[in-house]
Amino acid sequence: MTQIRQTIRGFVVLLIIFTLCTASAFAGSSDTTFFGDMRFRHESDFDQVTLKGVNKSDRHRERVRLRFGAIHELSPEFTLGVRIVSGNPDDPNSPHQNIGNAFHSFELSFDRFFVNYHPDSLPGLSLTGGKFAHPFQKNPVYGDLVWDVDVQPEGAFIAYTATDLGPLKNINLILGDYLVKENNTNDMTAFVAQVSVLLSLGQHLKTNIAVGYYNYDDFSKGGATTLCDNGGDLTTGGGNATTGVGPTKCGNNTLNASSFASDFEIINPYIALLYDGSAYPMVLSVEYINNTGANIPQDSGWMVGVAVGSTRQKGNWRLYYVRAVVEQDAVLTLTSQDDFLFQTNHDSHRLGVQYRVMNDVVVHPYVAISELESGGTSDSQWRARLDVDIAIN
């Protein structure tokens, strides 16, 4: 296994060198576009909480993220895309790399590798396959509660967009089939769908409405892979003498569980009002989550968010606030956010400001305060996270 990893790392390094060496040759061609960004983050977690009898101390760390990719137009109807990202390839929710590991080298991996077909004969229609960015419209204040922007699914989706329909500025329809876990017999998949519209309510006022749907297969098809990546959804089993079901092995650790307590069939609507009639654009959004496949009462969540300002130009700023309540089996933690201290089962507040210091540099400090929605040793347990991001792109 070590030799395989070294071979993969060597291949990635050679690919990066080749890409950089040939970038100048492609730079003059309109067929290929290179892109990239880097983020430096200071993160402080104040873990004022006792979970399962364990006291957690405060943690302060420095983190970095690197992303580099290219889009190539093969023809007027075909596009290829690829992206390399830093971080642990076994953690799809976070591309961040912690600084301070006895000078060990950082890991790089592919998180996008796709082809897109958009036929000229059917304007607005496209088909994408491979490993790609999740294509759903996102809540414009904060859009990662159900699907983290860092998680890049694998499979295929078809999308259709119609524009200029009078007051209806556009309508988008997306249907996708994601491969969650490949097996010898039954593969575990997820069917996803979303319809979204942008409607004009006046010269400076618009509303964005979207309804998303996620339907996951029986998680027994995912086996230990999905259970070991669980970040808080309720599980059952684990060596019970009555059922005879044993625990799950997760590398060198043993998880006292054999299955998820719930299925996941998530309905996720949101509505946002957008006003751009002043020097400081404003957005107000409301989002709802309901897992109709849950087998426990804790099956829903909601979020309210507001944002003022934008960061389009140097000297611009954006201030935002989010209040979110997510019950335990409302979201699937395999894909949900990791910005709060809990991925699920939390009541949280987040306040942040983004400021464009230079044309290519944005500073973004934010604080998130969370407490358990249920469980724990008291009702006053809480955690806080302070992040300061410096993004260069």
Delimit the domains of the chain by residue range: 31-218+263-392
Tokens of 69: 């990719």
Query: Where does 31-218+263-392 sit in CATH, by number?
Result: 2.40.160.10
- DSSP per residue over 283-306, as a string? EEEEEEEEETT-SSS--EEEEEEE
Average pLDDT, the chain: 88
Residue 4, pLDDT > 70, answer no
* Pairwise CA distance, residues 340 & 354, whole Å: 18
Tens of pLDDT, residue by residue over 274-325, are 999 998 999 999 999 999 999 999 999 999 999 999 999 999 999 999 999 9
Output the pLDDT for position 131. Answer: 96
Tokens of 376: 């724990």
Q: Is 4 exposed, middle or buried (0-12, 13-18, 19+ CB in 10 A)?
A: exposed
* Pairwise CA distance, residues 121 & 220, whole Å: 42
Over residues 236-255, mean pLDDT = 71
Between residues 374 and 372, the one the model is more confident about: 372
Residue 18, pLDDT > 50, answer no
Residue 162 parent element (H or E): strand 154-165
Q: In this structure, are residues 45 and 98 in contact, taking their beta carbons and an 8 Å threshold?
A: no
**Cα angle for residues 338, 342, 346 (degrees, 5° grid):** 130
Confidence of residue 239 (pLDDT cuts 50, 70, 90): low
Between residues 4 and 355, the one the model is more confident about: 355
Beta bridge mates, 366? 352, 387
Beta bridge mates, 196? 172, 210
Output the pLDDT for position 2. Answer: 43
Give residues with Cβ within 8 angstroms of 352, minimum separation 6.
319, 320, 364, 365, 366, 367
Residue 13 parent element (H or E): helix 2-27
Confidence of residue 16 (pLDDT cuts 50, 70, 90): very low
Q: In this structure, are residues 46 and 84 in contact, taking their beta carbons and an 8 Å threshold?
A: no
Torsion of CA 236, 239, 240, 242, to 10 degrees: 120
Give residues with Cβ within 8 angstroms of 37, minimum separation 6.
65, 66, 67, 391, 392, 393
Q: In this structure, are residues 368 and 346 in contact, taking their beta carbons and an 8 Å threshold?
A: no
Between residues 348 and 55, the one the model is more confident about: 348
Over residues 166-190, mean pLDDT = 91
Tens of pLDDT, residue by residue over 21-39, are 444 444 445 689 999 999 9
* Pairwise CA distance, residues 58 & 63, whole Å: 16
> How large a percentage of the chain has pLDDT more than 70?
86
Reduced to 3 states (helix: H, G, I; strand: E, B; else coil), residue 195 is strand
Q: How far separated are the first and last CA of the chain, in Å rounded?
A: 35
Distances, alpha carbon 349 to alpha carbons 100, 310, 343, in Å: 30, 21, 13
Helix then strand then coil, in percent of the chain rounded to 5, is 10, 50, 40
Output the pLDDT for position 228. Answer: 87
Residue 8, pLDDT > 50, answer no
Could you tell me how far CA 320 lies from the centroid of its own chain? 19
Confidence of residue 236 (pLDDT cuts 50, 70, 90): confident
pTM of the full structure: 0.88
